[in-house]
């Protein structure tokens, strides 16, 4: 599978079930762990849509993990959950029933962004751990409330930006922390798509109606609209429900960058530009969005584009070379940081001065006869072609069992989401913005 397909599969999360079992890295899915019955984790699934059905199918193939019930507001997804798990799986439209069920240890939630905060706060308040999809929050205030609920209850909260469980990102992290890149200078990341599905123009289920969907509850606390199947399927296009390309795609790039570089804070500043350049279908979120961040002095430049296909890539630039990271491979090209040739500036010297400079330079720098010439080594790693959703879920269920803290916890998730909210705020306000920790708000600068 090429990088491009990897990117799409990762971001859409649609084929986790089909792809996971055969493609996941051995270290994660062939764990020969015999799980005693008492050690089984029983989870409740909330949201069985495009991402949720993949998480559900993947989770039930993990050793010692079992689905006890599923919840969705659309009855067609009750049928789907039963097709995935078992025909008599308990299903409901009310997630509170899962939270009240003492046989359920924890929750996996894949609801649209505007529902994340309420589901997470309700779940941890009911004593359940929760895996919640990315972006963690729909707004900075939602994120603050979620961090507070996580601290108050001590429950495990893991957010679903699976880059932190990627073997390739882990290898990059190792190289960076060993100083292989020298001093970090700048990080770039990008992703592009060029087709209607990639731009979220999904086909709504043909039978969808207010009879089989609780449309009123689906809308949550946002201003109510008449039933609209396109909003149900394409909610990412509107800020009332989604978080734009920032929350949908940039959040993966930011989370991966934070993990690899070892940052766990919001950016100091963000400045973004973009527009609705390609998909003029009534959406109110940009389809092209470029943002420059200041991460405590480290410039991070990210580009998202729904009008031109570009495989997801990071280019991490350091004083000792460039590390390029894609879905299943990375390569490091070293740079000596020293002059390889005499300075071209000396072409402006009169001949005598130039000749003297050149003679000295060659004497000091030319390889000595009989001595080995330094040959910088390019490093490259190619991982198995895998889906990092599976190890990410495994980390979560292990944390539920062992209470071991997870990397992508509520604070990490909040910091990553803040970067996305700052990108959106900067785009809409047409000015650079910063995060003010004292007031916990985004400020224009
Ligand atoms: N990690 C990834 O790579 C990845 C990929 C795709 C989507 N996602 C995330 O997953 C989440 C869901 O996205 P999706 O594409 O699956 O959306 P979707 O619209 O396909 O599915 C969401 C489901 O949640 C249900 N739902 C909504 N509110 C609910 C509520 N209050 N109670 C119960 N069910 C409710 C809806 O009826 C729907 O079936 C989003 O946050 C998205 O960003 C993550």
Name the nearest CA neighbour of 197 among 221, 233, 226: 233
- What DSSP string runs through 195-210? STTTTT-PPPPTT--T
289: nearest Cα among 416, 426, 418, 415 = 426
Report which ligand 1 atom has the smallest distance to the Cα of 243.
Answer: 43
- Determine the distance separating the centroid of ligand 1 and the alpha carbon of 84, expressed in angstroms: 17
Please tell me if the CB atom of residue 13 comes closer than 6 angstroms to any atom of ligand 1. Answer: yes
* Res. 216: pLDDT tops 80: yes
The model carries a pTM of 0.91
Confidence of residue 376 (pLDDT cuts 50, 70, 90): confident
Q: 115 in ligand 1 pocket by Cβ < 6 Å?
A: yes
Residue 4 Cα to ligand 1 midpoint, Å, equals 23
23-37, 44-58, 144-158, 254-268: least confidently modelled range:
23-37
**What pLDDT sits at residue 17?**
29
pLDDT tops 50 at residue 194: yes
Instruction: Specify the pLDDT at position 328.
Output: 86
Residue 71 Cβ inside 6 Å of ligand 1? The answer reads yes
Q: Which residues of 233-257 are buried (b: 16+ CB within 10 A; e: fewer)?
A: bbbbbbbbbbbbbbbbbbbbbbbbb
In the structure encoding, which two tokens stand for residue 319, read together?
Answer: 């004083």
The C-alpha atoms of residue 266 and residue 56 are separated, in whole angstroms, by 31
What is the band of 37 on the pLDDT scale with cuts at 50, 70, 90?
Answer: low
Mean pLDDT calculated for residue range 167-172: 94
Ligand 1 atom with the shortest distance to the CA of 72: 34
Q: Is the distance from the beta carbon of residue 72 to the nearest atom of ligand 1 less than 6 Å? A: yes
pLDDT of residue 35: 52
Per-residue pLDDT, averaged over 234-255, amounts to 98
The minimum-distance atom of ligand 1 relative to the CA of 47 is: 24
* pLDDT single digits (tens) 126-163: 999 999 999 999 999 999 999 999 999 999 999 999 99
Least confident window among 3-12, 32-41, 153-162, 239-248: 3-12
At 32, the pLDDT band (50, 70, 90 cuts) reads very low
**Maximum distance among all Cα pairs of the chain, rounded to whole angstroms:** 92
- The tokens of 109 are what? 């939630």
Which pLDDT belongs to residue 16?
Answer: 33
Query: What is the rounded distance in angstroms from the CA atom of residue 419 to the CA atom of residue 267?
Result: 6
Model confidence band, residue 385 (pLDDT cutoffs 50, 70, 90): low
Residue 346 binned pLDDT confidence (cut-offs 50, 70, 90): very high
Q: Angle CA(137)–CA(138)–CA(139) in degrees, nearest 5? A: 90
pLDDT for the residue numbered 12: 35
Q: Check pLDDT > 50 for residue 1.
A: no
More confident residue, 123 or 9: 123
As its CATH architecture, domain 3-164+386-409 has 3-Layer(aba) Sandwich (3.40)
pLDDT tens-digit series, residues 73-118? 999 999 999 999 999 999 999 999 999 999 999 999 999 999 999 9
| pLDDT at res. 374 | 82
The share of the chain scoring above pLDDT 90, in percent, equals 87
pLDDT tier for residue 384 given thresholds of 50, 70 and 90: confident
pLDDT at 36: 56
Cβ atoms < 10 Å from Cβ of 328: 20
Interval between CA 48 and ligand 1 midpoint (Å): 7
Nearest to 171 by CA among 259, 249, 254: 259
Q: How much is the pLDDT for 386?
A: 62
pLDDT digits (tens, 9 = 90+) for 267-302: 999 999 999 999 999 999 999 999 999 999 999 999
- Dist. CA 206 → ligand 1 center (Å): 18
Beta strands in 32-150 (DSSP E): 41-46, 65-71, 91-92, 106-109, 129-132
* Ligand 1 in reach of 84 Cβ (< 6 A): no
């Amino acid at each position: 599978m090429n990088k491009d397909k990897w990117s799409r599969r990762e971001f859409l999360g649609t084929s986790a079930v089909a792809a996971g079992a055969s493609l996941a890295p051995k270290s994660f899915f062939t764990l020969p762990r015999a799980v005693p019955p008492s050690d089984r984790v029983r989870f409740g699934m909330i949201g069985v849509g495009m991402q949720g059905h993949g998480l559900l199918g993947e989770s039930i193939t993990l050793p010692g993990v079992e689905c006890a019930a599923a919840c969705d507001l659309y009855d067609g997804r009750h049928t789907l959950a039963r097709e995935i798990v078992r025909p008599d799986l308990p299903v409901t439209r009310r997630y509170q029933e899962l939270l009240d069920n003492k046989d359920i240890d924890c929750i996996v939630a894949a609801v649209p962004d505007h529902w994340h905060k309420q589901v997470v706060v309700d779940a941890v308040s009911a004593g359940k751990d929760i895996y919640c999809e990315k972006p963690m929050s729909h707004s900075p205030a939602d994120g603050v409330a979620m961090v507070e609920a996580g601290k108050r209850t001590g429950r495990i909260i893991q957010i679903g930006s699976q880059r932190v469980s990627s073997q390739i990102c882990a290898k990059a992290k190792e190289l960076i922390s060993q100083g292989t890149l020298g001093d970090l200078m700048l990080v770039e990341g990008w992703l592009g798509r060029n087709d209607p599905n990639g731009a979220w123009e999904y086909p709504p289920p043909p039978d969808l109606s207010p009879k089989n969907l609780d449309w009123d509850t689906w809308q949550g606390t946002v201003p109510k609209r008449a039933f609209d199947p396109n909003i149900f399927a394409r909610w990412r296009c509107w800020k009332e429900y989604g978080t734009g390309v920032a929350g949908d795609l940039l959040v993966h790039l930011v989370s991966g960058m934070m993990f690899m570089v070892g940052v766990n804070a919001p950016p100091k500043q963000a400045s973004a530009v973009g527009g609705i350049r390609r998909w003029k279908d009534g959406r109110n979120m940009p389809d092209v969005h470029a943002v420059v961040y200041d991460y405590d002095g480290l410039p991070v430049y990210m580009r998202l584009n729904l009008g031109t296909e570009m495989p997801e890539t990071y280019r991490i630039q350091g004083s000792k070379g460039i590390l390029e990271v894609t879905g299943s491979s990375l390569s490091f090209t070293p740079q000596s940081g020293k002059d390889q040739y005499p300075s071209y500036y000396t072409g402006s010297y009169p001949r005598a001065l130039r000749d003297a400079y050149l003679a000295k330079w060659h004497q000091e720098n030319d390889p000595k006869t009989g001595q080995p010439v330094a040959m910088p080594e390019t490093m490259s790693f190619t991982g198995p072609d895998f889906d990092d959703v599976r190890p990410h879920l495994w980390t979560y269920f292990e944390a539920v069992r062992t209470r071991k803290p997870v990397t992508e916890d509520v604070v990490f998730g909040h910091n990553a989401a803040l970067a996305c909210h700052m990108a959106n705020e900067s785009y809409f306000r047409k000015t650079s913005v910063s995060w003010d920790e004292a007031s916990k708000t985004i400020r224009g600068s």
